[in-house]
Amino acid sequence: MLQCREVVALVGSGEWRAAPLSQRLALALHLAMCRYCRGYALSLRRIARGARRLYRAKPVDPERSARVLDAVRDAAARHRRE
Amino acid sequence: MTDIRESRDRIDAIRSRDPDTLERVARDNLQPLLRAARAAGLSTDDAYDTVQETMLVFVQKADQFDGRAKVRTWLFGILFRKVAERRRAFFREEAVDEIDAVVDARFDQAGQWIRPPRSAEADLSAGQAMAWLEECLEHVPERRRTAFLLREVEQLEPDEVCNALGVSRNNLGVLLFRARNALRECLEQKGIRGSADAAV
């Protein structure tokens, strides 16, 4: 039986992905029975989803972005000629 | 693109420095690279400069691209080497950290919860909660925040994040554990304070 602390270590680090099948099953069983650990895992998923929305909503500077892309194009053309 | 490797045609186009292909790669990766540079602690100006330098190294070395890693992983790898040149502290990570103790203090000797998580951050799509999340992200040290960004926002595979940041799988686990728990603790604090304010 996994301890709650072990569940938090596995879920918080993402190490459960690389864990053996027996441990992943023990984790699933624990989460099915323990509402606190379920709440913990859920809060991490919500935070990840919130972060995705937050970062992706940040605007970029179109002029500066265009300059970077132009520089890439110029450099590619220059290297090709050489 | 969801597969781990790049297609043969794309590898050839990158290696021969086809301008359309290279511009396309640059366009597709511009925003993720800018976000990563900012998350790693660079100012907006430095982020644009560093991303441009990264792209130019990419063009310069494109003929050596072997397609064993995805092109985005390669770009992130170049970016973080550039970031480390600007910010030496970026690649330091402490063996122990206070967040480890904070999480540990929530459990008893038997590893059961003493202070179980609160669901104060229940609805993160609400404006107030998003503002809190943004504040909390600012307090997460750069390296952890960058690992978190690559994994959760850019949704790179764990091995790609390790590759880009030059860390082991174990090390990545530590970075992500600390980032996620720091964010969770921070939001829980704010949530509790927020509801206390609302009650006044």
pLDDT tens digits along B23-76: 999 999 999 999 999 999 899 999 999 999 999 999 999 999 988 888 999 999
Query: How many beta-carbon contacts under 8 Å exist across A and B?
Result: 139
pLDDT tens digits along B95-107: 778 999 999 999 9
Question: What's residue B54's pLDDT?
Answer: 96
Q: Do B167 and B91 touch, CB atoms closer than 8 A?
A: no
Full-model pTM: 0.88
% of residues, chain B, pLDDT over 90: 66
pLDDT band, very low/low/confident/very high, at B1 (cuts 50, 70, 90): very low
Which range (B7-21, B44-58, B79-93, B172-186) has the least confidence? Answer: B79-93
- The ipTM value here is 0.92
> Is domain B93-199 in CATH 1.10.10.10, yes or no?
yes
Distance from CA of B181 to the nearest CA of A (A): 7
Side-chain-side CA neighbours of residue B31 (13 Å):
12
Instruction: For Cα atoms B13, B18, B20, give the angle at the middle one, nearest 5 degrees.
Output: 110
> Is domain B8-90 in CATH 1.10.1740.10, yes or no?
yes
Check CB contact under 8 Å for B181 and A51: no
Question: What's residue B124's pLDDT?
Answer: 66
pLDDT tens digits along B117-130: 886 555 666 778 88
Among chain B residues, CA nearest to A41: B117
Question: What's residue B194's pLDDT?
Answer: 61
Question: What's residue A31's pLDDT?
Answer: 97
Residues 6 or more apart whose CB falls under 8 angstroms from that of B94 comprise none
Characterize B66-103 residue by residue with b for buried, 16 or more Cβ atoms within 10 angstroms of its Cβ, and e for exposed. Answer: ebebbbbbbbbbbbbebbeeeeeebeeeeeebebeeeb
pLDDT tens digits along A27-56: 999 999 999 999 999 999 999 999 999 998
Domain boundaries, chain B: 8-90, 93-199
Check CB contact under 8 Å for A55 and B35: yes
Q: Out of B22, B51, B137, whose CB is closest to A68?
A: B51
Which range (A19-23, A36-40, A58-62, B34-38) has the least confidence? Answer: A58-62
Distance from CA of B22 to the nearest CA of A (A): 7
Distance from CA of A57 to the nearest CA of B (A): 11
Tokens of B58: 């990419």
